[in-house]
Amino acid sequence: MKPFSTNPRVLLSTVYRRFEGDVNDALACATRGIPRFSMPREHSPGLRFIKQNVPEVEVLEYPRWDEYVAKLKEGWDIVGFSFYQAEIDEIERMAEEARRQGVGETWAGNYGALDGRVPQIVDRVVIGPGENVCAQLFGRGVREDEVEIPPVIGYIRTIPGNIRHFTFGTLYTQRGCPYKCTFCQTPAFDHKRYDFNVESVDRVLRYYKRAGVKYIFVADEFFGARAEAADRVTGLLARYKLRWYCQTRAATVSRHLDEWYERGLRFAQIGVESLNQDALDSVAKKQTREEVFAYARRMGEKKGLISVAGYMMGFPNMTAEDIFEDVLALQRTGFDIYAVNVVTPYPQTPFWDETDARYGIFDRTYRHFDSKHLVWRHPHLTPAQMELLYRKVVGILNCPSVSYWKSLRRFMRGGWQAGGPKSLWQSLVKDPAVSKRVGRKKAFFFPKTGRRGGAA
């Protein structure tokens, strides 16, 4: 590799699209049938963080293969890849093509880089945030308190029709998580926990407000981990009269629900994982059934507040009958939407080591590591049985005619209570118009000033 002082050419890319529409869409996968909502993964927040803080690099988000090959022809000293476990085969092909075209070094990052095979595919593996590592290529660094947050705008659409009708701005306020759930890769990836500087948070929210974006997706691994930091952020969200979503824990949101609701909280997701206490204890979730029940009850008391439950099916102590019993109990709690996944071991987690040692991980097909397939030898279920069970569970928990109507009714009722007839104009006319207008814009990055918080 050339010395840092020579100003190397650096390209950072996500995985390529194998065909049109080849994008992850967790929202569309959450339900069966038509119509349903869609939120395809079209942007890479991780790469945009690096680009915001290290403007010299170029980023390429979910290109077609021919677009990727054409970009390589421009000549690069380093080509880095941001990817997940399920995408490793495609990344290997991308790395081979980069070497064939004379790229000096290939790098790997994001959660997929935790897999043991990746060092054989690329020249360098970067674990954790990449801003400081990339900045060092250009002879400087980025301290944790200097990290600037990029704006990332996303959309919720309908299938069929692919009509954008709901626009949201993504916001990260911190990194890391204080909990050590044994199935989670965050402790292995984000070794340090820290908050982003409040000036950068404020700048992003002001950008969203000016763009006409009304809803904010707070994408922290665990929002509210530090009460003081959360208070600053929710104060800003309230100041700009934004409605927001967060991922948190049952006990945390229950403590702060009244205050957060007054400050604009309208969507909240917690990882329930299971209502089987033995299953929760086996993965060090540090959460009880009673906390979940109390949380669901409190959420139901707030008008217009939509609750989302993350559910994991297939813990080794549970049979098919146990899972159905668990699912029906979860359904009775009254959550509005359920994000259903199959229990999956991922590299560099305690659950990976325990599962492989005790049961065996027999399926090493990377595409199956998407939390929708059974890749280990379950003591009670085969992969085929799990696939059928998964479909049935999704159908029970997220029947579109029930869950969509329930969520929309709560959403509209809350809007009507807050804004009366004006809320109908906002939801049915203004929000779709904003989505159409904002959707034509390219990725935006703030001018890099080199000072804390950046430019206003």
Q: What is the pLDDT of residues 251-266, one digit of tens each?
A: 999 999 999 999 999 9
Q: How far apart, in whole angstroms, are the C-alpha atoms of residue 23 and residue 154?
A: 14
Last residue of a domain, one of 375, 393, 413: 413
Both 129 and 203 in one domain: the answer is no
Alpha-carbon distance 220 to 218, whole Å?
6
Question: Can you give the pLDDT at residue 331?
Answer: 92
Report the candidate in 256, 290, 257, 255 with the shortest Cα–Cα distance to residue 272.
290
User: Which residue, 79, 133, 145, is CA-closest to 106?
Assistant: 79
129 and 218 share one domain: no
Number of folded domains that form the chain: 2
Q: Is the pLDDT of residue 122 over 90?
A: yes
- 418 occurs within a structural domain: no
Among the residue ranges 42-51, 97-106, 156-165, 264-273, the one predicted with the least confidence is 156-165
Instruction: Supply the DSSP string of 172-188, one letter for each residue.
Output: --EE--S---TT-SHHH
Q: Are residues 280 and 197 in the same domain?
A: yes
| Judgement on whether residues 14 and 94 belong to the same structural domain of the protein | yes
User: pLDDT tier at 455 (50, 70, 90 boundaries)?
Assistant: very low
Lowest mean pLDDT among 38-52, 198-212, 336-350: 38-52
Q: Residue 43 sits in a domain of what CATH number?
A: 3.40.50.280
Q: What is the pTM of this model?
A: 0.89
Which domain covers residue 385, as residue numbers?
152-413
Is it the case that residue 3 has pLDDT exceeding 50?
A: no
Same domain, yes or no: 162 and 227: yes
Distance of CA 284 to the CA centre of its chain: 22
Q: Say if residue 80 is in the same domain as residue 192.
A: no
- Asked if residue 145 is part of any domain, the answer here is no
| Residue 397, in any domain of the structure | yes
End position of a domain, from candidates 393, 413, 433? 413
Mean per-residue pLDDT for 315-319?
Answer: 96
When mean pLDDT is compared over 143-157, 196-210, 288-302, 406-420, the highest value belongs to 196-210
Question: Which residues on adjacent β-strands are paired with residue 168?
Answer: 154, 215
Token output for 173: 């306020």
Ranges of beta strands (E only) in 226-305 are 243-248, 265-273
Q: Which pLDDT score, from 0 to 100, does residue 456 have?
A: 33
Average pLDDT over residues 52-59: 97
Phi and psi torsions of 246, nearest 5°: -145, 160
Indicate whether 25 and 99 sit together in one domain: yes
The CATH number of whichever domain residue 241 belongs to comes to 3.20.20.70
| Whole-number Å distance between alpha carbons of 4 and 140 | 9
Residue 403's SS3 state is helix
Q: Is the pLDDT of residue 412 over 70?
A: no
Place of tokens 């997940």: 84
Q: Does some domain include residue 176?
A: yes
Looking at residue 395, its amino acid is G
Residues 97 and 177 in one domain: no
211 and 87 co-located in one domain: no
Domain end position, chosen among 84, 117, 140 = 140
Q: Ranked by mean pLDDT, which of 2-11, 232-241, 327-336 comes out on top?
A: 232-241
Give the start-end residues of each E strand in 172-235.
174-175, 194-195, 215-218
Query: In the numeric block, which tokens belong to residue 426?
Result: 């906002």
Together in a domain, 46 and 120 = yes
Q: What angle (nearest 5°) sits at the alpha carbon of residue 343, between those of residues 286 and 338?
A: 80
Reading the block at residue 25, the tokens are 């869409």
Beta strands in 16-147 (DSSP E): 36-38, 58-60, 78-82, 105-109, 124-125
- Domain assignment present for 430: no
- Residue in the structure block whose two tokens are 């999956």: 344
User: Token match 């159905």: residue?
Assistant: 324
Q: What is the mean pLDDT of residues 27-44?
A: 74
Beta bridge mates, 216: 169, 244
Residue 261 belongs to a domain:
yes
User: Looking at the domain assignment, is residue 443 inside a domain?
Assistant: no
Q: Where are the alpha helices (DSSP H) in 338-382?
A: 350-358
Asked if 71 contacts 45 with a C-beta cutoff of 8 angstroms, the reply is no
On average, the pLDDT of the chain sits at 88
Average pLDDT rounded to a whole number, residues 121-125: 97
Whether residue 171 is found in the same domain as residue 92: no
Are 169 and 229 in the same domain?
A: yes
